[in-house]
Amino acid sequence: MSLKNSPALLALGAVFCFSSSLWAEDINIYFKASPRLELLYPYSDPATLTLLVTGTDGKPMAQGWVVIRLDAPDPGRFFSTDFPLVEGSRLLDMSLLLRQGKAEWKYLFPIRGQYRLTVEYAAPDGRKASKTFTLAIREHKQKWFFLGIFSLALFAVGAVAGRVFTASRSRRKITACLLLLLGSLVTVVSPAVAQEVERGRYFGWLEIDPATVGMPSAVRWRLAGGVKADGRSVLLTLTIVHLEKGKTVFSVERLPVAGEFAADFQFADGAEYRVSAIAYVTPGQMLRTEQNITVTGVEPPARAMIPAIGFFLVVIALGLGVGRRSRRPAPS
């Protein structure tokens, strides 16, 4: 390559990079949650999450797609959440078509902590922009209250055991009591046996991969071959409901799709869910299908149970120490 063309190529590369940065700066991405994140708790109520994409003039982008990825909070330093396998994993991955610059869906946050929502926007003319939001979900106050009551109860049991067995001066009995309490505690916190996957009958246009806690499952919908949309976009409402709790964990309403929709969704716990899809093909034509699935539960890792068991054992040991000390006669 001639050296005479090098300055021109360098200038062209600089213009290209500068133009790309300008494209990103010309696009703004905003996020809103209703109710506010400060009012949300794990498995309380689903929140309506809204993205707004605008230009520098504040006007919503007329067209384009947003790729949405939601990552769960990282594992805690000491106490794990209700679903340890969910921590630090991918919860949701999907693409939504903008409507008047907006993309909206409902989601039920399963655990406490700092979620990461990554949004990537792509315009028809090739412009792109991305932004990451941090979503903080607090734990239920009642859960911390019950934890305190349970810890006090274990301390009281340890204190009573310390007083009773100190009177007999039998170390073997004290050791047996501690082991019995440990066995009872492990039984209480041990996870339930993993459930098998029960595949529901497919209805032809709704497919769900076998679901296991800790791993995203592909949820796919497509328009049946015998139904025509006459070249127009189909409006799709897809809803996932936790049957035992009776709560909607995910939903998109009247989403414009070109005959198909796919998303990676993680079911947070080993329970039964109902996935339903309603497609509005024409003003007078509506297609509905649904499928029940049972998610496979997985035994939590040892790192999630050992800190809690260790904490409860320390509480019991402190109770035993206080009980034994209270039985000793005061020095004369």
Q: Check: CATH 3.90.245.10 for 25-139?
A: no
Residues of the chain with CATH 2.60.40.10: 206-294
pLDDT one-digit tens code per residue, 142-163: 555 555 666 666 556 656 666 6
Question: Which SS3 state, helix, strand or coil, does residue 278 take?
Answer: strand
Burial of 102 (0-12, 13-18, 19+ CB in 10 A): middle
Strand ranges (E), 123-193: 128-137
In sequence order, the 6+-apart residues with CB closer than 8 A to the CB of 33 are 40, 47, 48, 49, 50, 135
CA terminus-to-terminus distance, the chain: 102
Pairwise CA distance, residues 240 & 260, whole Å: 17
Which residues does the chain have with pLDDT short of 50?
A: 1-4, 6-23, 185-204, 226, 230, 332
> What strands lie across the sheet with 217-222, from one edge to the other?
128-137, 113-122, 65-71, 90-97, 260-265, 217-222, 206-208
Q: By the 8 A CB rule, do 185 and 309 touch?
A: yes
CA torsion angle 305 308 310 316 (round to 10): -130
pLDDT value of residue 66: 96
Pairwise CA distance, residues 151 & 149, whole Å: 5
| Amino acid at residue number 114 | Q
Radius of gyration of the chain measured on its C-alpha atoms? 28
Q: By the 8 A CB rule, do 128 and 25 touch?
A: no
pLDDT value of residue 234: 84
What is the 3-state composition of the chain as percent helix, strand, coil, each rounded to the nearest 5? Answer: 30, 35, 35
pLDDT one-digit tens code per residue, 266-303: 999 889 999 999 988 876 778 889 999 999 987 766 56
* Nearest of 73, 8, 69 to residue 37 by alpha carbon: 73
How do strand 217-222 and strand 234-242 relate by DSSP bridges? unpaired
Q: At what angle do helices 302-327 and 141-168 cross, to 10 degrees?
A: 50
| Amino acid at residue number 325 | R
pLDDT value of residue 176: 53
Q: What is the DSSP letter of 296?
A: B
Question: Which SS3 state, helix, strand or coil, does residue 159 take?
Answer: helix
pLDDT value of residue 303: 60
pLDDT value of residue 319: 61
Q: By the 8 A CB rule, do 75 and 120 touch?
A: no
Residues of the chain with CATH 2.60.40.1930: 25-139
What are the helix (H) ranges across 98-140? none
* Nearest of 177, 163, 107, 111 to residue 139 by alpha carbon: 111
Question: Which SS3 state, helix, strand or coil, does residue 212 take?
Answer: strand
The CATH architecture to which 206-294 belongs is Sandwich (2.60)
Pairwise CA distance, residues 73 & 76, whole Å: 8
The pTM (predicted TM-score) of the whole model is 0.70
